[in-house]
Structure 1
Amino acid sequence: MRELSVSQPVPLSHLARWLVAVPLLLLVAYLVTFDQGVVSQAGDYLHELMHDGRHLLGVPCH
């Protein structure tokens, strides 16, 4: 007969990594796909990087 195992709680340090990584990845995805230059007008280099990222991902931008 098999014994039932009790699951251990997730350490807070592992959870904290995900709580930081997921919103950061969502922000990057927003800037590359939907921004259309509103936020990325801080400089030409950043604007061109986001523009090229949209073309790379196949997102229409013009």
Structure 2
Amino acid sequence: MEKKLVIKMVKNCFKQYYSEVDSLPISSNDLEALAERIIQIKAEQPTVELYEAVNDTVYEFLTG
């Protein structure tokens, strides 16, 4: 799976939550970790849609 695509999707998901903020409230290390987690979820559960894995992972990051 293309890691750049996952990172772009994560950034877009954050923009939905923080639409009025110029920069995202996440470090590059956290962004990399989220991308790795999403790729791992997709590998473990191939039937899960990518957008669903991204949205769920970002939501968990923000709330937990």
Question: TM class by shorter-chain length?
Answer: 0.3 to 0.5
Kindly indicate whether structure 1 or structure 2 has the higher relative contact order, using CA contacts under 8 Å at least 6 residues apart: 2
Question: TM-score, structure 2 length as denominator?
Answer: 0.32
Question: TM-score, structure 1 length as denominator?
Answer: 0.33
